[in-house]
Amino acid sequence: MIQIENATKTFGQGDSAFTALRDVSVDIAANEFFTLLGPSGCGKTTLLRLIAGFEPPTKGAILLSGSDISRLPPNQRPVNTVFQNYALFPHMSVAQNIAFGLEMLGKPKAEIAKTVDEMLRLVRMEELKDRRTSEISGGQQQRVALARALAPHPQVLLLDEPLSALDLKLRKEMQIELKRLQSETGITFVFVTHDQEEALTMSDRVAVMNAGRILQVGSPRDIYERPSERFVANFIGESNFLDAERIGGDVTLAAGGSFAAAVPEGVPEGKVSVLIRPEHIRVRGGQPEAGELSAKVETVVYSGDATTLHLRLATGEVLKARMANAPDSDAAVPAEGQDAAVSIAPGAVTVLRD
Amino acid sequence: MSEATTHRPTYRPGELEAEANAADNRNRWLLSLPALVIIVCAAAGPLLVMVVYSFLTPGDYGNVKWEFSLEGWIGTLVQRDIFDDTLMWADAHLSIFWRSLSLSLITTFLTLIFGVPTAWFIATQPPSRKQFWLFLVTVPFWTNLLVRTIAIQELIRSEGVINLVLLKIGIITEPIQMMFTDFAIGFGMTYVYLPLMVLPVYAAVDKLDFRLVEAAHDLYAGRWTAFRRVILPLIKPGIIAGSILVFVPSLGAYVTPRVLGGGKNLMFGNLIELQFGAGRNWPLGAALSLMLMAAVMVSLIFYVRVTSREQADG
Amino acid sequence: MADARKGYSVRTLPGFAIVALFTLVALYAPIAILVVFSFNEGTSLAIWEGFSLRWYRQAIANEAVQDAALRSLFLALSASFVATTAATMAALATTRTRRFPGRTIIYALINQPLMVPEIVTAVALLIVFAWIKVWTGHTSMIYLIVAHTAFCIPFAYLPIRARLETMDMSLEIAARDLYASRWLTFRRVTLPLMWPGIVAGLMLAFVISLDDVVITEFVKSAGQETLPTYMLGQLRRVVTPEVNAISTAILLAGAILVSLFFRLTNRQS
């Protein structure tokens, strides 16, 4: 559907030059909910603007369904954007905003009216169609922005952190709403966010970006469970990083214990770093048995649904373990200062590329 | 999923950006063009022609002869004795320069005295009333300068309201001659340029963070000490802006001195006019104009320097 | 001033309020006296002899005044219209942009008429236009219109630019994203949003042109008096309240326009 080929984008010149994108290549499939995830300044919004045509790439090209659109101005690309600040036209009503794109495409009046009604229904804004955009709430503005961008039925919908201005409850609702709209319309969504939870909940695939590069592309499960790099693992969820020695598909932790591990391409044998998620670790009081590591409990933090333990391993490394709380689990959690036995769930160890 | 690509686009690095930038630059210049052409034809261009004219020889009945001459520039400061060609300082010109400078400075000073408290007063009003007071100061600013000068003229004439009232009360027995004096010019300029002082000072006071003044009071400063040590330095950019805004048009004033100063109390602007009227010495007039322009430019550059340094400090 | 209930206020400075009130009164008193005596029955500008519209009637009946008033109006309308159009285009070109080559030059040129004393521009125009007038033998109003347009441009430019700079650029990008061409984006989004700025610029330019006396005095050909130059000429003679009547009319027109301008620019912010 959309192919980004070796896109580089540099702003400014000389000493003040800033490279927002570095040789980024990615293919986004039709009907996909694709998310660009990364911290602010990682280049995700720049990539979106390149696809929309608001900026030309410094190097590289953008293809849509196999044809080059790098030179097309935004009004000739079958791509629409939901802006972060919504960018609703303040001098037009809700309905006029939604009709704008259709008018510009020169659609007949009757068809425009029909589509606008459809869109209003789709985003549940029928009652407010004659309101000025300044007279409706942030969440409603958000839905109007969505309807306006969907009305011309673009091949691709670009969403630039559209939920960031909403409060938590509304954001959760809109996440589900967006997912529903995407499957109902069958339009390819490219969604930009810095919120890892949002990305994992909504996406078919996620691209994790940092410092102008795409580090990893994969399903939410891949990204979370099989991160290829330390940055990805760190950015998404809580992580433990341990030193280990790899031989083939097996790693031996410096702290002891051998595990079968997932290994990304291009990692040499020998010393490696491995990731273990805190919730994949079990802890019990007492001395370790075979296959368990010995540790000392340093702190115990209760946080409602779970309890997090900080454990000091024999190597001096600190391991975080997160254990779900159950009504009777209190006795099972060792106290601070106690010795503990640590077991790691099978398949929980992932080798990182670093 | 990636579709079969029929051709791989290859762009040189920066090619697309260069195209977009070139188009953007071209559009911006094209859009600016009408304004630029008009201004070059009827403002900037003629100034350059005037530079040429300042180096020509005066014509017998005004205008110029196309012969190179430095007389225009020399004539700004010295004059030739009609009989023996000796050079001496052009006292008439020097006294006019001095009048222009001193009256402009006095005007600036007086507008400061009246303008700063006014600006302060307006800026410290509650927001609802502030707009109203500001409006009151702005209206005279945009109303006809000639009309405001006429209003002053009628006020200070020998048969004007001021003299009439003073005669009635018996303070004076003869009307005071105020018209056609330097006093009249200074008074008139202070009146017409006062809003130019109030507006920028107002803007500065309006931006003032009054917590700083409170901090000064908290640290045992009295009202005047706080004003001198805290407030004044903070609103200085506004005061400098206002001073320049008053000084520059005062220096180049033409209408007010013409109406209130009459034929004898000339200022720089009137001296220039004289060379194009009765004086019939266009090169001298051109040279004087360029001198005035240079003086104004120096003031403006000084202003830009000071304000940019203030901003850098802040 | 200081309200006892508020107690000690750091916003109060001794004497400032009195000076301010005096200044505000002084700002209006001369104008008020001028207006009052335009309704005087007698010829004096200082002794009240009863209310009358005599001087207004006389001014309206005066053909020279009629002629000058119509010319002023025509001149201000044409100059402000052309200046606002040019300034609108220039404002679109020079706002909301990275540094492009020549931006500083464009800024400097647009503001140039503000930087130079009017008398200097006036004599420079006298020189050039005198030459063109001799060369072509053409002496129509075009010289005045061009000269007025030039010095009106920076005034029209100011509020338009201010308006554009507060405008959300993403609105135009959104329009482009929604298939609007450059022209349609301008007509449907940019123009309606910048309209208050354009009207404000037009009014400002109109007032500036209507008020001008210096440049007009030097550029006009014989028989091209505007209202201000006509009045300047009259001041050399015995001044009657007729001048006050004309002045009052000009003041009124100016005050109305400035009030509208003020409302327009305040509402937008």
User: Which residue of C119, C210, C262 is the best one to mutate when testing the B interface, meaning the one whose CB has the most B CBs within 10 A?
Assistant: C119
Q: Is the pLDDT of residue A173 over 90?
A: no
Residue C8 pLDDT > 80, yes or no?
Answer: no
Q: Is the pLDDT of residue B55 over 60?
A: yes
Q: Is 90 exceeded by the pLDDT of residue B9?
A: no
Residue C118 has pLDDT above 70, yes or no: yes
Pure H helices in A186-336: 196-202, 220-225, 230-235
Together in a domain, B220 and B270: yes
Summarised one tens digit per residue, pLDDT across range A57-109 is: 999 999 999 899 999 999 999 999 999 999 999 999 999 999 999 999 999 99
Rounded to an integer, the average pLDDT of C86-106 is 87
B3 with A66: Cβ contact below 8 A: yes
Residue C36 CB neighbours (<10 A):
16
Q: Say if B236 falls within a structural domain.
A: yes
pLDDT in tens, B272-298: 999 998 888 999 999 999 999 999 999
Both structure tokens of B200: 């920028």
Q: Which of A52-56, A155-159, B305-309 has the lowest mean pLDDT?
A: B305-309
- B37, B150, B192: best to mutate for the C interface, most C CBs within 10 A: B150
Least confident of A69-78, A147-156, A265-274, A300-309: A265-274
How confident is the model over B3-29, as a mean pLDDT?
81
Backbone angles phi and psi of A131, in degrees to 5 = -70, 155
Residues whose CB is less than 8 angstroms from the CB of residue B258 and which lie 6 or more positions away in sequence, other chains included? B269, B270, B273, C232
Q: Would you state the pLDDT for residue A330?
A: 62
Asked if B252 and C244 come within 8 Å (Cβ–Cβ), the reply is no
B241 with B195, same domain? yes
Nearest chain C Cα distance for residue A106, angstroms = 10
Interchain pair C15, B117: CB under 8 A: yes
Q: Is residue B7 part of a domain?
A: no
Find residues 67-96 of chain A whose CB sits inside 8 Å of chain C: 73-76, 79-81, 83, 85, 87, 89-91
Average pLDDT over residues A280-284: 88
Task: Report yes or no: A27 at the B interface, CB cutoff 8 Å.
Answer: yes
Annotate A27-63 with b (16+ C-beta within 10 A) or e (fewer). bbeeebbbbbbbeeebbbbbbbbbbbbbbbbbbbbbb
The answer on B65 and B158 residing in a single domain is no
| Chain mean pLDDT for chain C | 90
* CB within 8 Å: B9 and A70: yes
C contact test, residue of A91, A112, A146, A156 with most C CBs within 10 A: A91
pLDDT at A271 over 50: yes
Q: What is the pLDDT of residues C81-90, one digit of tens each?
A: 999 999 999 9
Q: A341 and A288 in contact (C-beta within 8 Å)?
A: yes
User: How far is B296 from B302, CA to CA, in rounded Å?
Assistant: 10
Chain length of chain A? 354
pLDDT category at A169 given cuts 50, 70, 90 is confident
Please report residues of C whose CB lies closer than 8 A to that of A55. none
Counting one residue from chain B and one from chain C, the pairs whose CB atoms sit within 8 A come to 276
What pLDDT, on a 0 to 100 scale, did the predictor assign at position A337?
86
Q: Is the pLDDT of residue C9 over 80?
A: no
pLDDT at residue number B310: 66
- d(C-alpha C79, C-alpha C83), whole Å: 6
Q: How many residues does chain C have?
A: 269
**pLDDT beyond 60 at A158:** yes
Q: How far is A211 from chain C (nearest CA, A)?
A: 24
Q: Which residues pair with A312 in a beta bridge?
A: A296, A318
Q: Check: CB of residue B138 under 8 Å from CB of residue C255.
A: no
Residues B21 and B110 in one domain: no
**pLDDT beyond 90 at B48:** yes
**C142-166 vs C103-115: helix axis angle to the nearest 10?**
120
Query: Is the CB of residue A11 less than 8 Å away from at least one CB of chain B?
Result: no
The verdict on residue B173 lying in a domain is yes
| Neighbors of chain A with 3 or more C-beta pairs under 8 Å | B, C
Say if B84 falls within a structural domain: no
pLDDT at C267: 59
Q: Which of A73, A85, A101 lies closest to C178 in CB terms? A: A101
| A15 or C34, higher pLDDT | C34
Residue C10: pLDDT band with limits 50, 70, 90: confident
Domains in chain A with CATH codes? 2-225 (3.40.50.300), 239-352 (2.40.50.140)
B122 plus B165 within the same structural domain: yes
Q: Is the pLDDT of residue C7 over 70?
A: no
CA-based max dimension of chain B = 106
Asked if ipTM goes beyond 0.95, one says no
Q: Tell me, yes or no, whether B119 and B258 share the same domain.
A: yes
Q: Distance, in angstroms, between C98 CA and closest chain B CA?
A: 10
Give SS3 for A80. strand
Q: How far apart are CA A141 and CA A133, in angstroms?
A: 7
* Per-residue model confidence (pLDDT) at position C1: 43
| pLDDT at residue number C32 | 94
Q: Does C35 touch chain A (CB under 8 A)?
A: no
* Chain B nearest C-alpha distance from A177 (Å): 26
Among B1, B6, B16, the residue with its CB nearest the CB of A56 is: B16
Contact flag C113-B47 (C-beta cutoff 8 Å): no
Question: What is the domain count for chain B?
Answer: 2
| A60 close to C (CB below 8 A) | no
Q: Are A165 and A138 in contact (CB under 8 A)?
A: yes
pLDDT at B34 over 70: yes
Please indicate, yes or no, whether residues B180 and B243 belong to a single structural domain of this protein: yes
Judge contact between C71 and C226, C-beta under 8 A. Answer: yes
Contacts of C64 (CB under 8 A, 6+ apart): C225, C230
Residue partners of B262: CB distance under 8 A and separation at least 6: B179, B180
| Alpha carbon of residue A354 to chain centroid | 20
The reported pLDDT for the residue numbered B2 is 45
- Res B189 pLDDT > 90: yes
Q: List phi, psi (to 5°) of A230.
A: -60, -40
My answer on whether B297 and B231 are in the same domain is yes
Q: Is residue B106 part of a domain?
A: yes
Q: Which of B28, B43, B74 is the last residue of a domain?
A: B74
The answer to whether residues B124 and B227 belong to one domain is yes
Confidence bin at A328 (pLDDT 50/70/90): confident
Mean pLDDT over each residue of chain B, to the nearest integer? 88
What pLDDT sits at residue B3?
47
Distances B118 to A207, B114, B205, B298, C167 between C-alpha atoms, Å: 61, 6, 11, 28, 33
Weakest mean pLDDT among A209-223, B35-49, B127-141? B127-141
Query: Which of A84-93, A243-252, B151-160, C72-81 shows the lowest mean pLDDT across its residues?
Result: A243-252
**Residue B200 shares a structural domain with residue B68:** no
Nearest chain A residue (CA) to C185: A104
Chain B residue with minimal CA distance to A4? B2
Residue C198 to chain B, least CA–CA distance (Å): 15
The residue among C100, C166, C177 with the most chain A CBs within 10 A of its CB, best to mutate, is C177
Asked if C114 reaches chain B (Cβ–Cβ under 8 Å), the answer is no
- pLDDT by residue (tens digit) across A216-238? 999 999 999 889 888 999 999 88
Asked if A297 contacts A281 with a C-beta cutoff of 8 angstroms, the reply is: no
pLDDT tens profile B62-118: 788 888 988 889 888 888 776 777 777 788 899 999 999 999 999 999 999 999 999
Q: What pLDDT score does A336 carry? A: 86
pLDDT (mean) for A248-254: 85
Q: What is the pLDDT of residues C156-207, one digit of tens each?
A: 999 999 999 988 889 999 999 999 999 999 999 999 999 999 999 999 999 9
At residue B314, the pLDDT reads: 46
User: What confidence tens digit (pLDDT) does each residue in A118-136 have?
Assistant: 999 988 888 998 999 988 9
B38 and B157 part of one domain: no
User: What CA–CA distance (Å, rounded) separates A340 from A309?
Assistant: 11
| Inter-chain touch A90–C184, beta carbons under 8 Å | no
Residues B198, B292 share a domain: yes
Determine contact: C258 vs chain B, CB below 8 A. yes
Across the interface, which of B1, B6, B14 has its CB nearest the CB of A30? Answer: B1
Whether the CB-CB separation of A62 and A4 falls below 8 Å is answered with yes
Average pLDDT across chain A, whole number:
90
First to last CA, chain B: 56
pLDDT attached to residue B150:
94
Enumerate the residues of chain B whose CB falls inside 8 A of the CB of residue A27: 1-2
- CATH number for the domain spanning B290: value is 1.10.3720.10
Give the range of the structural domain holding residue B70, as residue numbers without chain letter. Answer: 15-74
Residue A332, pLDDT > 80, answer: no
Beta carbons of A219 and A185 less than 8 angstroms apart = no
Per DSSP, helices labelled H in B221-281 are 223-226, 232-251, 255-261, 268-276
Spell out the residues 6+ positions from residue A342 whose beta carbon is closer than 8 angstroms to its own: A281, A282, A283, A288, A292, A293, A294, A295, A311, A313, A319, A321
